[in-house]
Amino acid sequence: MTAIAIDGPAGAGKSTIARKAAQKLGFLYVDTGALYRAVGLFMLQQGVDPGDAHTVIPLLKSVSVSLEYREGEQRVILCGEDVSDKIRTDDVSLAASRVSPIPEVRSFLFSLQQDIAKANNVVMDGRDIGTVVLPDAQVKIFLTASAEERARRRYFQLIHSGVKANYGDVLQDLKQRDYNDTHRAVSPLKRADDAVLMDTTKDSLGQSVARLIRIVEQKTGGKIS
Ligand code: DC
């Protein structure tokens, strides 16, 4: 099996680029952030503080989370319910960012991610895929862009979806998230030594996807199994 690990900060375009690249390669796209979001949603549904490790840890034994694929699209199943849409709210984003530093939450989701990569050719994105989850991935990419460009993209995304936004606030939030992601004790966001750095600040989506595919071809010598 071939695994392509894509890590990087929030707003670098990881999921969009990874999804398109997976389509082109005929690989399964695995968005691991969705798993943290599902755990975050579960804690909100239980009415507990997602950042309170003492309450969250014992509840993990009641969480059943899995990924299914319908027409190539990843669906997240939480305790039998498809929560793929519910996990995209701001509340759940926040809950995911609060549960994700808890080591027991990370180890709870660890084997699920590894098992998917054992059974499929994957493009997997997250924060610790190349460093922790799939350290032997054939291709590792650290995808980034300047904070200003990432904030600009997020700002226009919000405006286009009819949400009022202020560029300065978006930039400030993003910098805070970068700080949290890179400074947490367990599995902090960092570039794996053998990851290719891909800065998409000046690239369009199409250019980024093409660059990624070229890196994959170079690294695998065009041989994908
Ligand atoms: O990529 P995302 O915004 O959907 O991720 C949701 C949260 O989960 C975010 O706070 C980072 C965290 N996360 C993580 O800690 N490790 C991963 N492999 C993926 C996401």
From first to last of its 225 residues, what are the pLDDT tens digits of the chain? 999 999 999 889 999 999 999 999 999 999 999 999 999 999 999 999 999 999 999 999 999 999 999 988 899 999 999 999 999 988 898 899 899 999 999 999 999 999 999 999 999 999 999 999 999 999 999 999 999 999 999 899 889 989 899 999 999 989 988 988 899 888 899 999 999 999 999 999 999 999 999 999 999 987 665
Query: Per residue in 62-99, is it b (16+ CB within 10 Å) or e — as a string?
Result: ebebebeeeeeebebebeeeebbebbeeeebbebbbbb
Task: Please tell me the residue having the least CA distance from ligand 1 atom 10.
Answer: 97
How many angstroms is it from 56 CA to the middle of ligand 1? 17
Dump pLDDT digits (tens) for 111-136: 999 999 999 999 999 999 999 999 99
CB 113 near ligand 1, within 6 Å: no
Mutation test residue for ligand 1: of 30, 32, 183, the one with most atoms within 8 Å of CB: 32
Domain annotation for the chain: domains and CATH numbers? 1-13+123-225 (3.40.50.300), 28-120 (3.40.50.300)
CB 139 within 8 A of CB 222: no
What is the model's pTM? 0.92
CB 84 near ligand 1, within 6 Å: no
